[in-house]
Amino acid sequence: MSKQKIFFVNLFFFVIPYLLVVTIAAIAYDSLVVHSATWDRTIFGGLVGGILILFTKVPLERPLTIMTEQTKNPVMHAILNFFIISRSTAYKIGNFVLDFVLFCLATYLLRDFLPIQIISGSLLGWCVIAIFASISIATALGFKTLTIQQDTSVENN
């Protein structure tokens, strides 16, 4: 697979959905917790959001491993390796800290730049549609690469 195709598969399959999941968690927190404008509540929400986002990475282990094996760029390889959380405790802690910071930043930015009517209105639906579109594009681009090949040959004696 070409470097450009690998870049777009990584972008549409991992980067865009990851940022949208963080945004969806922040939207849910900002719309459910009306008094979320204080830093202590944002930090508590960040702890809960960071844990939940970390749990959503578990089903992505196998596709990320496949994408890491296909990537020849050392920088992209290191970034993808960082998000494979089953390898070490340090990666789990690093991922949790990144998720926590991004969640707190997203709740703050959403709260400051958008009115509550938009946050609690249709913004969540648009983010979900964007995730589906992004994953669909990535699947169309790299379906053969992301499929798990099984040996279906049968030996008869």
Give the whole-angstrom CA distance, residue 23 versus residue 28. Answer: 9
CA distances from 45 to 19, 54, 76, 119 (A): 17, 14, 30, 16
pLDDT value at 1 more than 80:
no
Q: Which 8-state DSSP code applies to residue 59?
A: G
The per-residue pLDDT for 150 is 54
Q: Locate tokens 């959905």: which residue?
A: 17
Q: What is the mean pLDDT of residues 82-98?
A: 86
Whole-angstrom distance, CA of residue 66 vs CA of residue 118 = 38
Say if residues 67 and 146 touch (Cβ distance below 8 Å).
Answer: yes
Q: What is the pTM of this model?
A: 0.77
The domain locations on the chain are: 3-142
Q: Is residue 53 over pLDDT 90?
A: no
**Which pair of tokens denotes residue 105?**
């930043």
Q: Is the pLDDT of residue 154 over 70?
A: no
Q: What is the pLDDT of residues 107-152, one digit of tens each?
A: 888 888 888 888 888 888 889 899 999 888 888 887 666 555 555 5
